[in-house]
Amino acid sequence: MISDEPSPPRLARPARTYVQMPRFQRVKVSVLGRYMLTDRREFPCQVLAMSPGDAMVIAPVSGNAGERVVAYLDNLGRIEGHITNLIDGGFEKDIAATPRKRDKMAAQLTWLANRDILNLPEDRRHERVVPDNRHSTVVLDDGRRYNCKIIDISLSGAAIELAVRPAMGTPVTLGRMRARVIRHFPDGVAVEFASAQEMLTVVQQNLRVN
C-alpha cells in the first residue's frame, strides 16, 4: 500500500498557477506505477511523458485540479505533487522535489527514454525462479537490517518485497550477498548482485543468514 507520510512543514506561501511553475522539457516514456488520491484510494497508472518538474499520467480516476497525488513509479520511486490539469483519460501533475532529486530524476528519465527509443529489453540475462525459502534479510551500509521476502531470483539479481525503498544504486547485503538497488516497484525493489553466481543453488544458500 502506498504510504502517505506528511512532508516536513513548510512556511505558507501564495499558491502558484501552473504557468508560473518552473518549466522542464518532458521526454516520452512508458512507466507503470500506482497513485493515491487524497481520499486514500489507490489505482494503477501509466506515465507517457515526464520531466523533473511534471508528468502526464494515464489513470482510471482523474481526481480534481489542485488535488495532492502520491505515486510510486517503476524505476523512479515515490513522486509527490498536485494535479495541474485534467486530460482525456488522466491528468497532468507537477512534481515536488529538491534540486538534487530533480537532477537525479533527469538522469533516470534520460535512461528510460533511451531504453524505449532503442527498444532495449528489461535485464533478463538469466532465468528467474522462485526460491525454496523466500525469507531473507537486507542490510544497508549503515547497519539497518530489514526482513524481506524474495519474489524471484536469478544468477545476477533478485526482486524482493521490502518495507523501505533505498535509492537506486544504494549498496545492500541480501542474505550474504553484496548487491545494489537497480529498480523500484510498489512493493519493493530489484537488486543486482555485485558478482554473478554460477549456480542457483549457491544463490539460494546465500540468501539464508546464519
pLDDT top residue among 36 and 153: 36
What mean pLDDT is predicted for residues 27-41?
A: 89
Would you say 168 and 161 are in contact if contact means Cβ atoms under 8 Å apart? no
pLDDT digits (tens, 9 = 90+) for 99-125: 888 888 888 887 777 665 544 444 445
pLDDT above 70: percentage of residues in the chain: 76
User: What topology is assigned to 135-207 in CATH?
Assistant: Thrombin, subunit H (2.40.10)
Would you say 16 and 22 are in contact if contact means Cβ atoms under 8 Å apart? no
Query: Which option is the CATH number for 18-117: 2.170.130.10, 3.30.1600.10, 3.30.428.10, 2.40.10.220?
Result: 2.40.10.220
CA distance 39 to 69: 10
Q: Name the DSSP letter for residue 194.
A: S
Q: So what's the pLDDT on residue 198?
A: 55
Would you say 193 and 172 are in contact if contact means Cβ atoms under 8 Å apart? no
What mean pLDDT is predicted for residues 179-195?
A: 86
- Name the average pLDDT for the chain: 80
Given a cut of 70, is residue 23 above it in pLDDT?
Answer: no
Q: Residue 55 has which C-alpha cell?
A: 508528468
Q: List the domain boundaries for the chain.
A: 18-117, 135-207
Place of cell 504510504: 3
Q: So what's the pLDDT on residue 128?
A: 67
Q: Residue 119 has which C-alpha cell?
A: 527498444
Position 96 confidence tier, pLDDT thresholds 50, 70, 90? very high
How many residues belong to the chain?
A: 210
Would you say 173 and 138 are in contact if contact means Cβ atoms under 8 Å apart? yes
CATH fold match for the domains 18-117 and 135-207 = yes
Q: So what's the pLDDT on residue 209?
A: 58
pLDDT digits (tens, 9 = 90+) for 128-171: 677 778 899 999 988 999 999 988 888 888 889 999 989 888 99
Q: So what's the pLDDT on residue 32?
A: 86
Q: Which of 18-27, 113-122, 157-166, 176-185 has the lowest mean pLDDT?
A: 113-122
pTM value is 0.49
Given a cut of 60, is residue 8 above it in pLDDT?
Answer: no
